[in-house]
Amino acid sequence: MTQNFDLMMANATVWTPSGPLDTSIGIRDGKIAGLGVDGDAQETIDCVGLHILPGIIDSHVYFREPGLEHKEDIESGSRAAVLGGVTTVFEMPNKPTTDSADALAQKLHLAHGRAWCDHAFYIGATTRNIEDLAELERLPGAAGVKLFMGTSTGDLLDADDREFTRVLAHGSRPVAVHAEDETRLQQRAGLRVENDPSSHPIWRDDECAMLATRRIVRLAREAGRRIHITHVTTPAEMAFLSAHRDIATCEVNPQHLTLAAEDAYPRIGTHAQMNPPIRSSAHRDGLWHWVRQGVPDVLGSDHAPHTLEEKAQAYPASPSGMPGVQTMVPVMLDHIAHGRLTMERFIDLTSSGPERVFGLLNKGRIAVGYDADLTIVDLKLRWTLTRDWLASRAGWSPFEDMQLTGKPVGTIVRGERAMWDGELVNRPRGRPASFASADLRSRYA
DSSP annotation string for 204-263: T-HHHHHHHHHHHHHHHHHHT--EEE-S---HHHHHHHHT-TTTEEEEE-HHHHH--HHH
Determine the residue type at 347.
Answer: I
Residue from 45, 22, 18, 38 nearest 372 by CA: 45
Residue from 82, 101, 36, 112 nearest 423 by CA: 82
SS3 25: strand
Q: Specify the long-range contacts of residues 423-431, CB closer than 8 Å, at least 24 apart.
A: 424/79, 424/82, 424/83, 424/116, 428/75, 428/78, 428/79, 428/113, 428/114, 428/115, 428/116, 429/116, 430/78, 430/111, 430/115, 430/116, 430/117, 430/118, 430/119, 431/118, 431/119
Contacts of 176 (CB under 8 A, 6+ apart): 122, 143, 144, 145, 146, 147, 227, 228, 230
- d(Cα 255, Cα 274) in Å, to the nearest integer? 9
Question: Could you say which of 118, 302, 348, 371 is catalytic?
Answer: 302
Q: Specify whether 302 is catalytic.
A: yes
- d(Cα 325, Cα 202) in Å, to the nearest integer? 27
- d(Cα 372, Cα 281) in Å, to the nearest integer? 39
Residue from 151, 156, 105, 101 nearest 128 by CA: 156
Is 291:252 a contact under the CB 8 Å cutoff? yes
Is 185:208 a contact under the CB 8 Å cutoff? yes
Q: Which residues are catalytic?
A: 302
